Structure 1
Amino acid sequence: METGSPGYRVGTADPLTRGDPADWLQALRDGTRAAHQRVESHPVLLPLQSDRLTMAQYRRALAVFLAYFAALEAVLPPWLERFPQAGYRYLPRHPLIRRDLMDIGAVLPEGHSGAVPQLISRNHLLGVLYVLEGATQGGRVIAPRLQRRLGLDARRGARYFHLYHAGQWRSFRASLGGAAPRGGLEQALAGARSTFHALEAHLAAANSEQPKESLHGAYRPL
């Protein structure tokens, strides 16, 4: 991750009733498990879990992430100003992914249209951020594989998968208790689920643009 990466520092809204971060995290984890599994097992993203990952497969996965985060981060900043904890800073993903794609010689798509998660309240935002920050933890497994298999690292081609070094999950979790008003869990769950559903929509669009044999032919799960 580049130390000079821009970040959206959140605002300081009125204090909210404190909750137990561990309880909220468990409820969000349980409530999104099925959606999480569907995303991880999608044929566009599944190769990221294999030591047989090819550059073409990696490029395709990054292209989906770019479309997803570019669309989301076009609408996200105003909501981050309403987040009630000043100690947390969201690090934009799509500039890192764009540079990663440029590093590996990809042709960048034009435009940032696409599905975005449901954002109606600060509780919905909590659910969105839960998914985005939780996803950075996958870099602990994927980043070493990218280094071994494709020779990519935090300085070239794999910036996005090194975000976990920034301690984002720890700072988000620390702020969760103060940002969890009583009765808001259902809204947070709705935001988290809609975040996965938006990514599924981007994956479905990518899947429809490529013949099935080219998606599945080169990859065999271990």
Structure 2
Amino acid sequence: MTDLHPRHAETARDVVRRQTDAAHAKLHLHATFVALFEGNIELDAYTRLIQRFHGFYAPLDRAIEQTIATMPDGRDRYPYVRRSDLLAQDLIDLKATALDLRGGPQCTRAAQIVTPETLGGVLYVIEGATLGATGVDRAAQRLLDADNCAGRRFWAWGRAQKAQRWTLANDYLELRYAQGTALDDLVAGARDTFDVLADWLAPLEQPRPTLQRAAT
């Protein structure tokens, strides 16, 4: 069982971070992000990235909101902000249609990882993702070559809100632990979020098939 080490006075955040470092690092090596940072990505590949993020966050947003709504203690109320709304607008900016948004694939596994016990770990990951939004937003701005936030509202929001969201998530993580949530559950929530997102983005790592002309 996971436990805090009394001699080192680890916080719940310390434990969650230490036990999810490997899963976290895996996401940083994703080929699409590497290409984006290197300026070696086309607009359609970037659009597919936003589509995958939308498909991940749409069910996750609903699960988080529903879980928070079941918690009777007012201290457990968390002012969550839906990511899928920002991503949907980005897709519209990138010329996606309403049908594309409704009919796009969604990550059902994302909803399954959210429970009252795991919520603190889930929020640790997705609010912590705002810390990396500045670099992604700058790279996206170079790709889109526009002064406004069209097509990168998700990253720009994270860039602007990262300090507030990260503090909120860490305070909530410690609150959940102080109220008796097991560290194993908090760690599982964080690790599963990293793993499910990595698996969901994995298809973007595969080269797209090329059409071959029929012999004449």
Which residue of structure 2 lines up, in the alignment, with residue 105 of structure 1? 95
Residue 74 of structure 1: aligned partner: 62
User: Structure 2 CA distance, aligned partners of 1:192 and 1:178?
Assistant: 16
Separation (CA, whole Å) in 2 of partners of 1:22 and 1:78: 31
- The alignment yields a C-alpha RMSD, in angstroms, of 2.9
CA shift for structure 1 position 101: 1.2
User: Is the 1:69–1:93 Cα contact (8 Å) retained in structure 2?
Assistant: yes
Partner of 2:144: 150
Counterpart for residue 141 of structure 1: 135
Question: Counterpart of 1:174?
Answer: 171
Total equivalences in the alignment: 192
**Change beyond 3 A, Cα 1:34–1:72:** same
Asked if 2 retains the 8 angstrom alpha-carbon contact of 1:64 and 1:203, the reply is yes
Structure 2: which amino acid aligns with 1:123?
A: E
Moved more, 135-144 or 78-87: 78-87
Which amino acid is the alignment partner of residue 177 of structure 1?
E
Please say if residues 120 and 169 of structure 2, whose CA atoms lie closer than 8 Å, have aligned partners that are also in contact.
Answer: no
Q: CA deviation at 1:125?
A: 0.5
Structure whose CA Rg is larger: 2
Counterpart AA for 1:202: W
Distance (whole Å) between structure 2 residues aligned to residue 25 and residue 152 of structure 1: 38
Offset at residue 149 of structure 1 (A)? 3.0
2:26 pairs with 31, 34, 38, which one? 38
Structure with greater contact order relative to length (CA < 8 Å, sep ≥ 6): 1
Structure 1, unaligned runs of 5 or more: 1-20, 214-222
Aligned to 1:95: 85
Could you tell me how far apart the structure 1 residues matched to 2:121 and 2:18 are? Answer: 13
Change (3 A) 1:128 1:103: same
Q: Give, as a single letter, the amino acid of the residue that structure 1 aligns with 2:139.
A: R
**CA distance in 2: counterparts of 1:69 and 1:24, whole angstroms:** 25
Call closer, same or farther: CA 1:199–1:27 in 2, change over 3 Å.
same
In the alignment, the residues of structure 1 paired with residue 63 and residue 181 of structure 2 have an alpha-carbon distance, to the nearest angstrom, of 25
Q: In 2, Cα distance between the equivalents of 1:149 and 1:37?
A: 24
Q: Could you say if the C-alpha distance between residues 41 and 104 of structure 1 is closer, same or farther in structure 2, counting changes exceeding 3 Å?
A: same
Task: State the AA in 1 paired with 2:42.
Answer: T
Structure 1 contact 127–189 (Cα < 8 Å) conserved: yes
Q: Under a length normalisation based on structure 1, what TM-score does the superposition of the two structures give? A: 0.74
Are positions 1:118 and 2:113 aligned together?
yes
Counterpart amino acid of 2:165?
A: Q
1:71 CA drift (Å): 2.1
User: How far apart are residue 200 of structure 1 and its match?
Assistant: 2.3
CA shift, 1:178, in A, is 2.1
Q: Which runs of 5+ in 2 are unaligned?
A: 1-8, 211-216
Percent identity over the alignment?
A: 26
Query: 1:31 aligns to what SS in structure 2?
Result: helix
* Greater per-residue helix proportion: 2
